Amino acid sequence: MLRDTLETNMKRLIDFLIYSKNFIIRKSPIKALINSIVDGIKDFLTMKKKLKMAQYRLNYHRHQFQKMEQLIAENNQHSFLRGNNLNTTR
């Protein structure tokens, strides 16, 4: 009786270890963890460069928007809308 129980438990343990080994080979969680850590470090190191690019784009679009507003105000037929005020009716 005790021997059968030990054999059954040993068989279950061996089956579990085989399934675990196959899972680790198939999914490779350690490799995925290493890749995510490396990606995080790359993002952290390039954060300043990305911030500068975003600020440049924002300033460029803001300048384009101000030029467009100025052109609209200059070409508007109503004289009171000329200048820096935004035409809210357009």
Per DSSP, the residues of 48-66 read HHHHHHHHHHHHHHHHHHH
pLDDT reported for residue 44: 95
Q: What percent of the chain has pLDDT over 90?
A: 69
> Cα(72)–Cα(55) distance, rounded to whole angstroms?
26
Question: Mapping DSSP to helix (H, G, I), strand (E, B) and coil, where does residue 45 land?
Answer: helix
Judge residue 81's burial from the number of C-beta atoms within 10 Å of its C-beta, 0-12 exposed, 13-18 middle, 19 or more buried: middle
Query: 0.85 exceeded by the pTM?
Result: no
Under-70 pLDDT residues of the chain: 76-90
Q: Is 6 helix (H, G, I), strand (E, B) or coil?
A: helix
Domain ranges of the chain: 1-45, 48-90
pLDDT of residue 71: 85
Q: What DSSP character marks residue 18?
A: H
